[in-house]
Amino acid sequence: MARNVAQADASLKAGKWARTKYVGVSLVGKTLAILGFGKVGSEVARRAKGLGMHVIAHDPYASADRARAIGVDLVSMEEAMTTADFISLHMPLTPSTNKMLNDEAFAKMKKGVRIINVARGGVIDEDALVRALDAGIVAQAALDVFTKEPPAADSKLVLHENVTVTPHLGASTVEAQEGVAIEIAEAVTGALKGELAASAVNAPMVPAEVLSELAPYVMLAEKLGRLAVQLVAGGGGIKSVKVTYASARAPDDLDTRLLRAMITKGVIEPISDVFVNLVNADFTAKQRGIRVSEEKIVMDGSPETPLEYIQVQIANVESKFPSAICDSGLVTVEGRVKDVSFMSVGRIAPRKTAIMAIGVDEEPSKATLTKIGEIPAIEEFVFLKL
């Protein structure tokens, strides 16, 4: 893209010799902003630094220590938008990333920025990108993915002269296909030996009697992981996850492989730019620099019950909750929170950190959530989806 290779190739094949028309730009000294600093994003960073680029990244779940080890500065989305010469997208498509690059985002960018998207098509508002290209805000775009695939034959984006496109080739290489075949063979071999294959699509192999016994805890484990990672969003990133199991049984009698996989999946899946399943979750966490550890403690109870409780802790989560439920005991909110199913309050100790959890059957409007977050007595407000 930076050297106009595709356009120059088409021009020459059309019988033209337009050397001056396709003058490109150098990568050396340019700033690359990587949005989504997972496995793919971090690998792109390593290679970009080898090309002499200054690399910054935005990912609310990335570890600052891991980024520094690669030589990358973690920055806010605002800084990434306003300082980058190149922007490369490597995040999953979620409600929060859907059309993340829209008219408002493009308006903040440096004139002449170049966009690369080989992650998910829906993270870019394609109509807004066309407008940004026509206005000269975006100089060029290189796209391998689209909101609708295949895109329409008359797509303004695909036909734009400053856009280089490929038909979702991704990892379509001979080596990648061979790698998949090897992974499948290794996964089958590991499964036949009773091991957990790191990239298999099957769930962790545990005895049928253990699976039956742990069934009530499996979905709880994943939801605990999802809850924990949503609470840390916007913080200093995730360094490690510690899972504590309390049981009346001896630690060696408690098989927690499935629960660990579910918890790790719950933590990693919402923030990963690659597909996460039960058995590759731990491997994916390691690739993101996140350590997952387990602790088993013995407590009084019935040995007939496998677990008394499960606790999930994410490192470096600062205290986020207010010491008061409300300034005056009365809160007026414009809008309506429908069908409140429960409300629970708790605290660490008298006059110490307090938390309130409210369960609802339907998602409140954005205006209502914003209004709740503006209540002075609330130090921080987080809407969680389980």
Catalytic site positions:
120, 149, 168
Dist CA 111 CA 48 (whole Å) = 21
Cis peptide preceding 303, ω within 30 of 0: no
| 49 three-state secondary structure | helix
Side-chain half-sphere exposure of 8, counting CA atoms within 13 A: 13
Q: How many Cα atoms occupy the beta-carbon half-sphere of 36 within 13 Å?
A: 27
- What does the DSSP 8-state code read for residue 217? H
Kindly list the strands in the beta sheet with 138-143, ordered across the sheet, starting from the edge strand earlier in the chain.
73-74, 54-58, 31-35, 86-89, 113-117, 138-143, 163-165
Q: CA nearest 335: which of 371, 307, 305, 300?
A: 371
List the structure tokens of 43: 């690998």
The amino acid sitting at 152 is: A
